[in-house]
Structure 1
Amino acid sequence: MPFPRTTTAALYTIGTTGVIDRFTNENLAGKLLDIGVRPGSRLSIIRKSPFGSCWYVKIDRHCLALRKQELACILIK
Structure 2
Amino acid sequence: GVKAVVLNVTATNPTQSSFVSVYPSGTTRSSASNLNFTAGQTIPNLVIVPVVDGKVSFYNHAGTVDLIADITGYFTK
TM-score (norm 2): 0.31
With a CA cutoff of 8 Å and minimum separation of 6, indicate the structure with the bigger relative contact order: 2
Q: Which has the larger radius of gyration?
A: 2
TM-score (norm 1): 0.31
